[in-house]
Amino acid sequence: MIIAIDGPAASGKGTLARRLAAHYALPHLDTGLLYRAVAARCLALGRLDDAPASEEAARHLDLSTLDPEALRTAALGEAASVVAARQGVRAALLDLQHRFAAQPGGAVLDGRDIGTVICPRAEAKLFVTATPEVRAERRYRELASRGEPITYDAVLADIRKRDERDSARATAPLVMAEDAALLDTSQLDIPAAFAAALAIVEARR
């Protein structure tokens, strides 16, 4: 069974993906980390604006070396959405994602284009969302708890900018797949959101 989970930043999709993966004992890939890792490589080279350099970084990405802790910063979220708008970067990351999804038994993948582009035939598709204010509050708490010097207003501005960039881009924009179930987590705590996600998956498998 493939479970495809998409949605905007800090919608709760990552938490739900992790919990669904644990529940069904499936491997999980947070595809945002791929774009974050490409962005980190480009920033280290001082070449975020260099499209061929970002494609080269994407081609050489090694899943086993990704460090989620180091990659989940506000600055890399922003830089990731810049490299993620490039067709060549997305193309270079396709094969790796397809191979992950093709594991025997299935997999859980979360991102922006899993149900639409990466795994259009996934058995269960969720589109997880929440209001920008709720998402900013969640992301602010998460970043602040890790000691990032950041304000709520800056996080909200970043989320709005990323929503706009991810939704407006020409290649694999953030859109809900026609056959995805919409899950708005604005009013839900984690146990309630997980129960709702589980009910959706159970109804589809």
Site residues (CB under 6 A) for ligand C5P, limited to 156-175? 162, 166
- Per-residue DSSP letters for 63-103? GGG--HHHH-SHHHHHHHHHHTT-HHHHHHHHHHHHHHHTS
52 is in an annotated binding site: no
Compute how many residues bind ligand C5P; rule: CB under 6 A: 14
CA angle 111-12-48, nearest 5°?
A: 45
The answer to whether the CB of 186 falls within 8 A of the CB of 110 is no
Q: Rule CB under 6 A: is residue 126 a binding residue for ligand C5P?
A: no
Binder among 36, 41, 86, 135 for ligand C5P (CB under 6 A): 36
Dist. CA 83–CA 163, nearest whole Å: 15
11 is in an annotated binding site: yes
Binder among 106, 111, 115, 132 for ligand C5P (CB under 6 A): 111
Structure tokens at 64: 């086993």
Dist. CA 147–CA 20, nearest whole Å: 28
Burial zone of 147 (CB within 10 Å; 0-12 exposed, 13-18 middle, 19+ buried): exposed
In terms of CB distance, is 77 or 132 closer to ligand C5P?
A: 77
Q: Rule CB under 6 A: is residue 32 a binding residue for ligand C5P?
A: yes
Which sign, positive or negative, has the C-alpha torsion 94, 96, 97, 99? positive
Q: How far is the CB of 30 from ligand C5P (least distance, A)?
A: 7
116 is in an annotated binding site: no
Q: How far is the CB of 3 from ligand C5P (least distance, A)?
A: 14
Structure tokens at 61: 């990405």
Q: How far is the CB of 80 from ligand C5P (least distance, A)?
A: 4
In terms of CB distance, is 141 or 199 closer to ligand C5P?
A: 141
Site residues (CB under 6 A) for ligand C5P, limited to 51-80? 77, 80
Strand partners, 111: 6
Q: Which residues are annotated as a binding site for ATP?
A: 7-15
Residues near ligand C5P (CB under 6 A) are 9, 31-32, 35-36, 77, 80-81, 84, 111-113, 162, 166
